[in-house]
Amino acid sequence: MKVKPEGSPGLYVHVPFCRSRCTYCDFHVAALRPGVVTDYVSALILEIQHHADAGFSPETIFIGGGTPSALSVEDWTRLLKCLSESFQSGLKEWTIEANPESIDEQKIEIALSLGVDRLSTGAQTFVETGLALLGRRHDAQRVHEVHDLFQKLGVPRTSLDLIVGWPGQAIDSVNTDLAAVKEIDPDHISLYHLSYEQGTWLHSMRERGGLKPIMDDTCIELSRAFLQGLQEQGFERYEVSNLYARGGASLHNLNYWERGEYLGVGSGAASFMEGLRWKNKPDVQKYISAGGSPEKVSIETPELLEVVTELIMLELRLTRGMNLNRFKTETGLDFHEICGESLHSFEKRGLLIQGENAIRASSEGFEVLDSVIVKFVEDAEERLNEGT
C-alpha cells in the first residue's frame, strides 16, 4: 500500500517560454512569441478545467518553466484566475517561479489577490561575471529590488535559487552571495550544484575545451562554505539542496521526494498518478492544437526495481532519510536483506547514519550521495535478478 505524503497530490503547471535560454538549461522551453503564448495559455486553461471537472483536487500548485513571470499581464491573470477558480478548497501551498527581470509589482499584486502564497526567484548568483556565464538576463541589484517588492506587498513566503560550482567560481563569490542572502533575508533557499547537461551551451563549451570546470574537490569546498554560511544565518537543511529559515519546507517539492502523486499540465509536463507515469508530448504547437487534451507519451507502470530505485534515490535526499517501514510497505522487501552489506560499509565510513526506523546521510554522505545511491541500486538489482 502506498503512503500518501503531505502535499499530495500536487499540480505542476508548465509555462515553457523564455526570452533566451540560460547556458545550463536543458528543460523543455520555447521562444517567447506573444501570439503563440496567448494560444498556449488558452490551451492550458482548457486542460486545467478538464482535470478540475473530472474531480482532481491538488494540495499544492507549482507554476514553473520556462519563465512563468514572462507572461503578459493579461495571460498571467487569465491563467492564475483559472487555477484559483478551479481549485478553491484543500490547497496548502501555491508557488510561482519568477525571474527577476520579468516580475513586477502589478503581477505580484494579481498573484496575491488570487491566492498565490509563495514566490521563488531565480537569482543563481550575485556575482556579475557568474550571471553572464550562466546566461542570466538580470543583474544582481534587480534581485534585491524584487525582494524589496515582495516585502512591501506582503508575499507570505519567498524562496531564492542559487547555483554553486560555476566555472571560475572562488570563495570570494560565495561570500558575496552569502552577504546578499543575509540582506535579502528570504524564507527558503535552493542551492544547486551546476551540472553540465547534454545539449546545453555549457556542456558544448566544456567538450570543445572552451571553458574549464572547477575540480570536484573545489566544488565540495565551495558548497561546504555556502552551507555553513547559510546555517549560521539560521537556515535549516531539510534536503540535499534545500534549506529554510521560516515557513517550512516546500510542500510541493517534498511531495516529489516522498514519491507522492502529481499531475502535470502543459507541454512536456510529467505526471505520476495511481501508479502510472506519463508526460504530455513536449511540442508547444501540437499542445495548442490539442485544445486541452494533449497527447500522452512515455506511459509506464513502474516495475518493482523502479519503485525500489525511486524510493532510495528520492528519500535519501532528505535529511530525515529513508523510512524503512515505508520501504517495506511499498516494495515488500527488507532493505537490510538486499543492501545490508553496503549499508554497513557506508556506516563504518561515516557516510550514513542508521536510526530506529530510518537511514540518513551524514554531511559527508551528502557530498557523495550519488555514489551511495548507485551502490544501493546495484545491490537491489542483483538481489532481484537472483529471484527471477
How far is Cα 219 from Cα 170, in angstroms, rounded to an integer? 9
- On whether both 74 and 216 belong to a single domain, the answer is yes
Long-range contacts made by residues 354-360, C-beta under 8 angstroms, separation at least 24? 355/321, 357/323, 357/324, 357/325, 358/320, 358/321, 358/322, 358/323, 358/324, 359/316, 359/321, 359/322, 359/324, 359/335, 360/316, 360/318, 360/319, 360/320, 360/321, 360/322
279 assigned to some structural domain: no
Q: Residue 182 belongs to a domain with what CATH number?
A: 3.80.30.20
- On whether both 48 and 190 belong to a single domain, the answer is yes
- On whether both 174 and 313 belong to a single domain, the answer is no
- On whether both 252 and 311 belong to a single domain, the answer is no
Q: Residue 316 belongs to a domain with what CATH number?
A: 1.10.10.920
277 assigned to some structural domain: no
48 assigned to some structural domain: yes
317 assigned to some structural domain: yes
- Single residue among 235, 257, 279 that ends a domain in this structure: 257
pLDDT score for 2: 62
- On whether both 105 and 18 belong to a single domain, the answer is yes
Residue 135: give the domain boundaries.
10-257
117 assigned to some structural domain: yes
246 assigned to some structural domain: yes
pLDDT score for 12: 98
- On whether both 322 and 235 belong to a single domain, the answer is no
- On whether both 82 and 211 belong to a single domain, the answer is yes
| pTM reported for the whole predicted model | 0.93
Q: Show the CA angle centred on residue 141, arms to residues 135 and 142, nearest 5°.
A: 70
Q: Under 8 Å CB-to-CB from 310, ≥6 apart: which residues?
A: 259, 302
291 assigned to some structural domain: no
- On whether both 250 and 313 belong to a single domain, the answer is no
- Single residue among 200, 230, 257 that ends a domain in this structure: 257
DSSP 209-223: TSS-PPPHHHHHHHH
- On whether both 238 and 369 belong to a single domain, the answer is no
**Cβ atoms within 10 Å of 202's Cβ, excluding its own:** 24
Distances from the Cα of 196 to the Cα of 122, 138, 193, 323, angstroms: 18, 22, 10, 32
- On whether both 101 and 178 belong to a single domain, the answer is yes
pLDDT score for 24: 72
- On whether both 25 and 154 belong to a single domain, the answer is yes
pLDDT along the chain (388 residues), means of 10: 75 91 77 90 97 96 94 97 92 96 96 97 90 83 95 97 89 94 97 83 77 81 94 96 96 95 97 96 96 95 95 96 94 94 96 93 94 96 80
- On whether both 91 and 183 belong to a single domain, the answer is yes
271 assigned to some structural domain: no
Domain count, the chain: 2
pLDDT score for 20: 78
- Single residue among 257, 292, 324 that ends a domain in this structure: 257
